[in-house]
Amino acid sequence: MTINSEDLYRSLSTYSADGLIISDRNGIVEDCNPAFANLIGEELVALKGKKLARLVECTCHTGNGTGGDGKKSQSALVPATAESANLHNATLVCRSGMDLIMPVSHIPLTTSGARGKSYLTIVYIIQANTVQQAQTEFVSTVSHELRTPLTSIKGFADTILRAGDRLDASQQKRYIGIIKDQADRLTRLVEDLLAVSRLESRKLQLTIRALDLDAAIQRVCRNLSDKAERHHLHSRIPQALPAVWADADRLEQILTNLVDNAIKYSPPGTAVTISARSIDRAPEDRHSEMVEFSVTDQGGGIPQEHLPEIFNKFSRLDNPLVRQTEGTGLGLYITKSLVLALGGTIAVTSEPGSTTFTVRLPAATLEEQAARGRG
């Protein structure tokens, strides 16, 4: 029995659970299947003739991570080869306004005639169930995190209303103090959730400029001096350190999260050390020079098996020191997201008695400033 290739393609396209898009060499959609149209909420006929880049965005960071003007830039989908499927995540722009992140492959097709090369883009929608499950787990975790402080606030407020006249001044002050502490905890959680929302929706506004890293570190140390009154804060910053390309508020947020964590999870009397250095470009780095800074504590350390999870949302270690320390479990996730948004990298190393978080950001050297028209 001979199977007509056109009939085979039509059947595969119609009944495939994955999204299939055919585009020409100029990135114009020539055809797509129902699975892709249904996923983004469009009619099949309405998609033909549209630019593929407006439907499937491959977002990357250039230079300082924001294209130099505070905006992210887009790169073309990388075609697959015989050696590599070039599977990578892309953002699908839905009609509803919601963005979905899905793995895709972009495959060159050889076609007959004068039209030249076309491309098949495969969107692996099977991952949508995983995305939905992750969203459900996120909502469940957030609900739990909100419920704990709300229970305390309601309980102590009810007690004051019901038996306020029988409570002495010290009891009333204690209960009101607990209510304030839990309200502050709620505020921090809401702020962290808003930060996660802006990061994941790609609506984070960045103003990139050359910044003095030493000044930022000293400012953060001053701001955390009360929290660190039972610790020793040390900074080791060389005088000739180049400036960094960063957003001032986000750089301070990164430093604050890392130093605050080091203080919280270290025993009293121990030291927290912030050091920095300039490093030459590594082969995999896009920048001519990078600036590296590290935050090292003398805490209990992080077990090696937990290091891969440390930057996940709501990731908190299950040990007594962590359990008795308040936190949302979002700080390191936000920190890593901000570092990546600034075009940098972050890593963690740990052993019993010491943990070090190391961040690399693009250096604002004179050559780099001149190349960006800012010198």
CA distance 214 to 235: 9
State whether 153 and 301 are in the same domain: no
State whether 115 and 138 are in the same domain: no
State whether 198 and 213 are in the same domain: no
State whether 234 and 332 are in the same domain: yes
State whether 119 and 187 are in the same domain: no
**Last residue in a domain, options 152, 173, 203:** 203
CATH number of the domain bearing residue 197: 1.10.287.130
State whether 182 and 274 are in the same domain: no
Q: What is the pLDDT along the chain (375 residues), one digit of tens a residue?
A: 566 777 777 888 888 888 999 998 888 999 999 989 988 888 888 899 998 988 887 644 333 333 344 344 445 676 766 555 567 778 887 776 666 777 888 888 865 554 567 889 998 875 555 656 666 666 776 777 788 789 889 999 999 999 878 888 898 999 999 999 889 888 878 887 887 777 766 677 888 899 999 999 999 999 898 888 999 999 999 988 999 999 998 999 999 999 999 998 899 999 999 999 998 765 544 446 889 999 999 988 888 888 888 888 776 655 544 444 555 678 888 899 899 888 899 999 999 999 999 999 999 876 666 555 544
Look at the chain and report how many structural domains it folds into.
3
State whether 230 and 346 are in the same domain: yes
State whether 72 and 149 are in the same domain: no
State whether 102 and 185 are in the same domain: no
Conformation bin of residue 334: beta by default, left when phi > 0, alpha when psi is -120 to 50: alpha
**Last residue in a domain, options 187, 203, 219:** 203
Between the alpha carbon of residue 187 and those of residues 245, 266, 277, 316, 344, the distances in Å are 30, 24, 35, 19, 29
- From 196, 245, 200, select the one nearest 59 (Cα to Cα): 200
Position 71 scores a pLDDT of 41
Position 281 scores a pLDDT of 61
State whether 181 and 71 are in the same domain: no
CA distance 74 to 267: 45
State whether 166 and 216 are in the same domain: no
Between the alpha carbon of residue 353 and those of residues 267, 299, 302, 304, 307, the distances in Å are 10, 5, 9, 13, 15
Domain with 105, as residue range(s), is 5-123
**What is the Rg, in whole angstroms, of the alpha carbon atoms belonging to the chain?**
26
CATH number of the domain bearing residue 38: 3.30.450.20
Position 135 scores a pLDDT of 63
Position 184 scores a pLDDT of 84
The tokens describing 235, both together, are 């900074």
Which residues in 170-208 are b (16+ Cβ under 10 Å) and which e? eeeeebeebbeebeebbebbeebbebbeebeeeebebeb
State whether 157 and 218 are in the same domain: no
Position 357 scores a pLDDT of 96
CATH number of the domain bearing residue 279: 3.30.565.10
**Last residue in a domain, options 203, 223, 258:** 203
